[in-house]
Structure 1
C-alpha cells in the first residue's frame, strides 16, 4: 500500500479548518510581528486562514471589500487599516483584543 505525501500548504490549510488551530496560528503570527515589527508574516497567516476558511472571493462579498483590494491588503507589502483587519477577523469569527504582557 502506497502512502500519498501531502505538501506543507495542504496540511496548513486543513488545520486552519479548526477554529482553535487557526486562532493559535494567528496568535503566533501576531507575536512574531510584535517582536520584529514586520507585519508581512501576520498578513500571510491571515491570508492563509482566509483562503482555508472562506476564500478571498467569498470574504470580499461578505465584507463588502473590493476583491483586488483584499488581495493587496493581505499581501506581504500590505498596510491595512486596523478597521480592515478587524472586519476580516470578525467575518472569520474572531476579534481583536488587548491582553497584559506576561513576564
Structure 2
C-alpha cells in the first residue's frame, strides 16, 4: 500500500479576505522579518501574482524573487506590495 501525499502550500488555504488578514496579522505580530516576506509571497500567490505585478508596477519575476525565501527586499518594495494587496502595517506600543 502506498500513500500519496501532496506538498503543503499555505496559499491554498488563503481563500478569503478574513483568512488573509488574520494570517498576515499573526505573522506581523510575531515580528520575524523573514516570515513577513514569506507571508507576503504566500498572499501574493493566493491572490494572483500577475495582477499584483500590474498593481505594483513591478515585474512578475521580480516579485517572485523579492518574495521568495531568503530574499531581502527593499522596504519600498514591501510597502508597494502591502498597499497593492490592501494590507497595512500598523505600529502600536508593545
Scaled to the shorter chain, the TM-score interval is 0.7 to 0.9
Matched with 1:94 is 87
Q: Identify the match of residue 72 of structure 1 among 52, 60, 65.
A: 65
Contact 1:40–1:75, Cα closer than 8 Å, also in 2: no
TM-score norm. by structure 1 comes to 0.71
Matched with 1:43 is 37
Distance 1:50 1:26 in 2: 12
May I ask how many residue pairs the two structures share in their alignment?
A: 90
Which 4+ residue blocks in structure 1 deviate beyond 6 angstroms? none
- Which structure's relative contact order is higher, taking Cα pairs within 8 Å and 6+ residues apart? 2
Unaligned 5+ runs, structure 2: 1-5
Q: Over aligned residues, Cα RMSD in angstroms?
A: 2.2
TM-score norm. by structure 2 comes to 0.76
Distance 1:51 1:87 in 2: 16
